[in-house]
Amino acid sequence: MSDDDFDNDYKYSKDTLYQLIEKGKDALEDMIEVARSSEHPRAYEVLSGLIKNVADVNDKLQDLNKKQKQLTQEEEKPAAIENQQNNYYLGSTADIQKMLKQQDDEQPERIISREP
């Protein structure tokens, strides 16, 4: 799938969820009136189910936005480390020991005073 397909699908899904939320809010208003006027327990049961459904659609909208954000962040991430420095030593262990000995000889001796 191309990026345009993903963008179109995202926009379509987002628009659909917006429409469902708006229609659910309208239905909630109507159902509140029905429940109040009838005072029937079933009307309140249907109202509570409708409230849950609208809340679930809101959650789906948030999940959709979160997934879209994750996808765009993954695309923007650099694929590899941009600046990497590798140091290689091409010599023998005897050469390393000589180099370390020379460094030790060049450093001044440390005087450690011990107080009684």
pLDDT given at position 99: 84
Domain extents for the chain? 3-76
pTM of this prediction exceeds 0.75: no
End-to-end CA distance of the chain: 80
Q: How confident is the model at residue 62 (pLDDT cuts 50, 70, 90)?
A: very high
Q: Is the pLDDT of residue 34 over 90?
A: yes
Alpha-carbon distance values, 103 to 33, 99, 107 (Å): 89, 6, 6
pLDDT given at position 103: 83
pLDDT given at position 77: 67
Mean pLDDT over residues 25-40, rounded?
A: 94
CATH topology (fold) of 3-76: Helix Hairpins (1.10.287)
